[in-house]
A and B are shown apart, each in its own frame.
Chain A
Amino acid sequence: GAGVSQSPSNKVTEKGKDVELRCDPISGHTALYWYRQRLGQGLEFLIYFQGNSAPDKSGLPSDRFSAERTGESVSTLTIQRTQQEDSAVYLCASSSAGRGLQHFGDGTRLSIL
């Protein structure tokens, strides 16, 4: 498709399990962002990839969170040893060069039991 694709759309897991969330950006977009959106809240920046540069990880809330991106394609956000406070919608966005003009996926709704 032409847009940003995220999978799964919903994920329910038990506390303590690891989860992996996937983002397929728009083809040709060099920048990719991950955000967390808690219920009724705004967007919380997590991590930013730009081309082959080192990612900006300044928004990751703890060392349980990590993300990878292969070149300018798919990105995976991994949360280890999930906690109930990790329950949120995780949004991915991609953009072409600069300016912060982003295209968003529909998100992954993560629920930790």
Chain B
Amino acid sequence: AQSVTQLDSQVPVFEEAPVELRCNYSSSVSVYLFWYVQYPNQGLQLLLKYLSGSTLVKGINGFEAEFNKSQTSFHLRKPSVHISDTAEYFCAVSASGGSYIPTFGRGTSLIVHP
């Protein structure tokens, strides 16, 4: 079984500032890792994914994340945020072999202030 911990429930930041949303996971097997974004009254949209290969993953909207196996982390970063990035962000993990049912973190609310 896997588990995901998103360490911050809310992250306020000013527009054009950098941001990091933290995600740690635990698993006894190799994993796939995902970040999703949820805008109000919408479903989740995939931002980026780590399946294998390079540990630095680039996604949509200027976001990137780095898989750190030794620290079991997959933190999401953006060098300069925009007002439109205000949303809920979910980290998810699934076992690389098996039923592929992802486990989601509780979410981090990113609030970008002008």
Residues of A with Cβ closer than 8 Å to B? Answer: 4, 31, 33, 35, 41-43, 45, 48, 50, 56, 91, 93, 95, 98-107, 109
Contact = CB atoms under 8 A, between A and B. Distances in A.
Interface residues of B, number: 24
A58 to B, nearest CB: 9
10 contacts: A31-B100, A42-B107, A43-B104, A50-B99, A56-B99, A99-B51, A100-B32, A100-B100, A102-B46, A104-B45
B90 interface: yes
Contacts, number: 59
Contacts of B51: 99
B38 to A, nearest CB: 8
Contacts of B46: 101-103
A26 B41 CA distance: 20
